[in-house]
Structure 1
């Protein structure tokens, strides 16, 4: 699969190359200018080296990088000189990788790493770990490949390097594809696509589309495979990426072969091979020969099938690409068997089996899984450490606050004694009495202000856990959220998490109580939902609620006293492309409006929290048409007292109201619901928090 290699240069070098995009001839003029400092020469030679690599002139690219090294190795050591020396080694590594000379590529990358460590170039180290991982991937050493790719991902996440993170996701997806785990591969590639779209990385996006197309091809979904390959090819043609175009041609050839359109497949394989020969992509050539050999085998042209497999195997051995060597022996075994040369077929099949076992051994699989587990463990351990540091800081802050409160109490107590003494001595002095009363009033008002400020700060904290209106509209364009807390802070909350480009989780939740206690519980419950999706990777509503219940109970069990608090919830997972809806509720139902009728799916009668007889939650699946409306809500709207007789609004009236406004747009529906609620409540106190979510598919 297509691998992503990053050029490693310092920031200013990147900015120069990207912003000005100078031609090689004009760069050469800078080198000929008299009195040019060594640092300028180094930067210029490294840019020239990379420009040659981009146009596939590898010989000239290597020459320019070696010229840069000659200067860097003799110039007085400085951070800038060391940085450019590392950049030259990386350029040599990248060019040799493109030439499929993997051992030379590794040699240069491993020379660059110690220099980067010496100057603490974390971004460069991340990119170089990534490049080393790609070399081991092409060599079929997947355990080592994953080890270096996870090192790269860790650094990039620490630096919040979005482009680097997206590249790492794509490359890790490639490892899982090679291991045959298509679900994991697709998951990582879709993560990569999301980030690449955000940052406008066209070349990376084209690569991800190509990889996704290959996965769909292997799954037998050929129209989907061609769709993604064509999307990839369009971008590659636009940016002039010959290596990428060759890959796309080859991938499309494979898909046409699987569809039985052999003439079309041969046409694309030949296009792919011609480009690979032009840019001297040996690994690509080996792959093309292998693919064409398999195609000729399917066409019953057995001598040609064997010839092309031999060509591919020869190149694969030359560059030590074990996966391609394995495929070559397998192809030769099949060709010999078809010809009737069973002795050679057996011989080649034995070699195929030996190499396959060395690549895909059970021990190697365990090491791949262990590498991922170690990475996740270190990541969680770091998160726990940061969380503990935050808790320690909050504890210290609370301790300081207690000291201040104690000192304030002592000072206030002494002041009170003084005031009592003064009052006793001059109780007949009315003016003095009035001053004392005024002072006491001021103290009470100040205390009230402090309490109010604390609650308002708690409101800001609670608002931080709620998804922004902008993010909701980006993912669910036709929707509204009516959110009216009873107090400044609330026990009700709404929650959303985007799983992939077209899967959105959204919920309306009602925690025990309202005000400050309810708000505190809402933070615990919201965090549990986040962990279910982000940490445990759950996307089925029933499974999410099962795990959330477990996490909430686990959190409250840390208390010495028994805590039975929790939440009621209505949770949907929506496929925005197909309008498929998965739903489950804890004590709160789902209403959906279809063909002028409001239908109801009843919830499981148990909360998210400690409960007498706990049962697994059940996921419900719906296939709805465009225009259907979902309503998720808590009980605050229907339970509000009001009207002429001061009675509850009730669910029947709530349902009638929704039916009467079904033809309004979602913003108008929200406004009507809000006005109706205020009108019904009148001068009466609001009895509970209100949260209603409306979503038009």
Structure 2
């Protein structure tokens, strides 16, 4: 649960930095804008266009994009520093309009210039915004890399406020990587700086993030203290809208404590504050909590009312996103249509001007030229109309087909996104349930089940984030899966050798392969290295026609004899291998080695 520049799901808050030189107030009127662009020096034109883009981008995306692109065009003819700031402004607008790839490209172009000229202040903001962009794409390792770079710049600048924001961002990333000790350490560093400066600007945010973190660790006393501190500092700031997130986390706290009366109080408070702020995500989340609390309080009728309102708002938010995509596609079509009309008018005008110029050549040929021109123009116009009509029909069919394909692609991505989100919810529910389990074996089973669910969720995430919706690249999916398993089991002293060939398989084949890898790697990390150190090797490649998966370690060696006491994980591996019509071979000499040979797998 995170909060960034475009999503408000509560728990941990990410700090987004404004870019240097942006946001200056501009009272420039349209006629004065034309004067500036016509007569002012290029440096004034660039700054004016950047200011206009900054003022308009939250509500007028098309206008902001136009201003930012024009600023880049002028800056390319002047100095590199102006170009870096124009590129950053363009990236901000592209990011907010959903063009993450273009935004990243322009941010990185700006960073190249800023690093060359050592623009430390600009670099700190740009690094932070690149980190936030990677965070939105759920590429947490890359996000952490850029937040680290931003912190280094803030230290060079000796900017304590900037250091506080960078530490908070690093804490959020560590939390999402399940690295709780480092997340707590980063938050406490931010608090230490605040106390040294005797300021409380971000204290509410930091304590809320810490409270959310302690809730996930089931450290309820620490969570309660931090969340009450968050409420205290947010109330000191005087902005009631910022109380929504602590209220939601306190609702979660009292649900965990089974104190449903207190949970109901904070759920109602969070809903009221969400209404004041107008944040739709927080309103939806508050309604979900109210429905849960009412149900647990034995008020099913009221719970049903809240749940219906929650579902209605959630569905309307999704429908709005689809409608916005359709409107954008229609706008592109209309823009192209107008450009074609202007082009045809210009062609017709050019023909008329040519005819008039020729008509002045000689008096004797005036009538002849006029007659020939009229006949020629009539014939050309007739042929032009026929051709235009055919082209218009072909263009319309092409546009309709393209629009249908794009809509289907959007819907298919949304389906994979929803499946991933639903699996993530299942994973979170398993994590919540495991807080109340004391039996080690049961807790172990929950953890293994959660890892299996995560492997399936990661597969669907790869599908909706990738370019191909029907296939998964194994050299991207398998390393991501292994990284999460190492993070889950905390095997820092186990070295990893991985060689995964660039193969693309369909989801029906990739899913069992992912589950098999999950089981074999989990089994090795749990049992192969009693002293905590060793070497694990994963190899997946195509040998002529068959595809071969090999997972081996240099651990103590494990028996794989099939009997009635065989573990569920090993039974699952055998079952999935049978489904793939694959040959499964075990070897426990000098460690453990498992080889899976798949002869009937089709590569896309």
Q: TM-score, normalised by structure 1?
A: 0.39
The structure having more radius of gyration, on CA atoms, is: 1
